[in-house]
Amino acid sequence: MPATTTTATATTSTAVPNYVLEGLPSEEELAAKCLELGLVIHQPHTYEITHPALSLRPFPMKADVLYQLYDRQLLWNEAINRTSRNFEFLRDSMKSTAESDRGFTGRLLSILEKVYMTTPVGAKAPVYQPLMLGILRTDYMSSVDPESGSHLSSAEVAAAVAAGTARQWKNIEINTISCSFAGISPLVQRFHAYLHKFREAFMNVGAAAAVEGTKAASYAAPSVVATSPRQRESAYVTDEKHNSGVQVSAALAEAVAAWRDAVPYSSFLRQYQQRTGVALKPIVLAVVQENELNTADQYKLLLELLETHGVLSLRRTLAQLHETMQLEHATLCGNEHDCSTETKEDLSEQLQPPFAVVDKKYVVAVAYFRSTYVPKDLPTETAWQTRERIEESNAVKCPSVPYHLMTFKKMQQLMSNVSEVLAPVSFDGDQQKAAALAEHFVPQYSLNEDEYARLATNRQRIDEGKVINDPEHWIADAVLRPERYVLKPQLEGGGNLIAGEPMQRMLRDVTSDDPVYKKIRREYILMRKIDYPVATGVFFQRNRIHVLERNACSEVGIFGVILSSDANGYIINQAAGSLVRTKPADVTDGGVVAGVAALDSVQIIS
């Protein structure tokens, strides 16, 4: 039945305590605030501009826990960089998946082998751009003791968070390509700050504080932990040290500067202008999807890049780039003037990758991929050819194919093996760093029988400690106890997870003579499900307020940026802000763009 307050109405099917809706603005004002902030997204099909789904109650989190996860992000950045640069390990780890999924994983692996592992004629080593930029996001959910029950009141969730530690936050996945909402996530913090100001005024807190000569709210110090939802919302304290909308753009700008220093930039520009009369302009090229819905998020980063750092950008699809992008080699040391900053001996040591020129006006310094993470982004042979040509160029890729492959669940499953992969491969033997990340792992299992027979790294232990060498054990357990597992494909993006009865049917009913049988075992990872707290959520979605009575759960993502030229040295290694997404707890998977989850923000508590 509808629940109402003096300011807002809500769509809900159950009775809701008054405090849940108390002090909320009207739906019209909420929509207006979204437009004023630029907190917008395109609707599917119609392409009309609207607001994304938003949580109206920020997610409480202890300051020390949040900052410990920021510290962990530096380790994630390092692990991704070092593992991805071990090209042989990367190729061998993905080989079985690539054989099953030739059309996508197989093509990416082919690019890896061609660009990074093949020495061209006349060269002494493979020719590629060693500078790699990563804009990463590590996603976590807080775990609770399943014996205590996961359905908690809002006050109980706040109390549990206040008593929690960083190790209770378990890693769901790490995204290395097209990490959405780095641009507009800080706007959600501003939206929640506005809600707090409205609530203050509505409850006359501000007026009372002014009379007493005191400040109504402090944004500089953590609040005291509340004992009720109403008290918990009496202050809104945000993270002031990290801002993804600023830091990601700064990393793109830093990558442009590093690229200028790493390639024969001045020589090439002179030669190109002498030949064509055109003075090329360096750009960040955003490679985007057809009919992109999340353009505001992208433009927030690209406009910050221009206005703060003076760097131009261009958004293009692969289809557009197929028509307008050429690879151009510099004619190095064509005369003594060209060699003024580099010696002939240095330049002759190795061939140089070509420059990527777009529209005959721009030279690509950084290729920033906001697409190519699902097969539909590469529907044609020309699309794949264009993707490969970008990788062959001397542009800094964000991500490079090696970084991209690290987002595949196979690589993340292998990294969860601390003693045989994470410590020796990802951290070059540093057991302390590996142990720190391992605190956030939940068990992940390969379903590929060949790997169990071939590699000790895939042996897993059951809860009683017995070593299991057969993936059928885990498959049988998932069929028997589906509530304990989730089946994860290699693909990135929301809507791909399989759980519950669909997972049971897939694992139980598909026979060995069915092609899907081998596909499951080569391409899917079985992961233990996280027991997470469930609370009441309040969403602003499609211009209406909706209440999810004890049916909301939240996921915290930590952004990271890394710029590196080898496995050990870093130009940038930073944590870069957070993203919170809250969704109905009874929905297995789903994203913000799909209209399932809502954007949220962290409310820091002490």
Give the residue numbers of the binding site for Mg(2+).
492
Q: What is the largest CA-CA distance in the chain?
A: 82
- The stretches of 361-493 forming alpha helices (DSSP H) are 381-392, 401-405, 409-415, 431-438, 449-454, 471-480
SS3 state at 50: strand
Q: Which long-range contacts (CB under 8 A, 24 or more apart) does 429-436 make?
A: 433/75, 433/78, 433/79, 436/72, 436/75
- Cα–Cα distance, 68 to 66 (Å, whole number): 5
Binding residues for ATP: 409, 527-530, 555, 583, 589
Beta bridge partners of 285: 314, 367
Binding residues for substrate: 298, 581
**φ/ψ of residue 403, rounded to 5:** -65, -40
Distance separating the N- and C-terminal Cα atoms of the chain = 37
Q: How large is the C-alpha radius of gyration of the chain?
A: 25
Burial class (CB in 10 A: 0-12, 13-18, 19+), 456: exposed
- Cα–Cα distance, 428 to 568 (Å, whole number): 10
Place of tokens 């590929």: 448
**φ/ψ of residue 290, rounded to 5:** -65, 140
> With contact defined as beta carbons under 8 Å apart, do 300 and 380 qualify?
no
Q: Please give the structure tokens belonging to residue 526.
A: 């079985």
CA neighbor of 77 nearest in space, from 431, 564, 412, 420: 564
- Cα–Cα distance, 316 to 372 (Å, whole number): 12
| Distance set, CA 173 to CA 183, 349, 598, 604 (Å) | 20, 41, 19, 23
Burial class (CB in 10 A: 0-12, 13-18, 19+), 453: exposed
Q: Are strands 3-4 and 9-10 parallel, antiparallel or unpaired?
A: antiparallel
- Cα–Cα distance, 132 to 588 (Å, whole number): 34
In the chain, the amino acid numbered 192 is H
Q: Are strands 362-369 and 396-398 parallel, antiparallel or unpaired?
A: parallel
Beta bridge partners of 316: 287
Q: Please give the structure tokens belonging to residue 179.
A: 């990490």
User: Could you give the strand order of the β-sheet that contains 444-446, starting from the edge strand earlier in sequence?
Assistant: 444-446, 525-528, 485-488
**Helix, strand, coil: what percent of the chain each, to 5?**
40, 20, 35
| Distance set, CA 486 to CA 137, 441, 442, 527, 529 (Å) | 21, 14, 12, 5, 6
Q: Are strands 525-528 and 485-488 parallel, antiparallel or unpaired?
A: antiparallel
Give the dihedral sign, CA 595/596/601/603. Answer: positive
- Cα–Cα distance, 604 to 63 (Å, whole number): 5
- Cα–Cα distance, 76 to 68 (Å, whole number): 13
CA neighbor of 306 nearest in space, from 258, 249, 359: 249
Binding residues: 298, 409, 492, 527-530, 555, 581, 583, 589
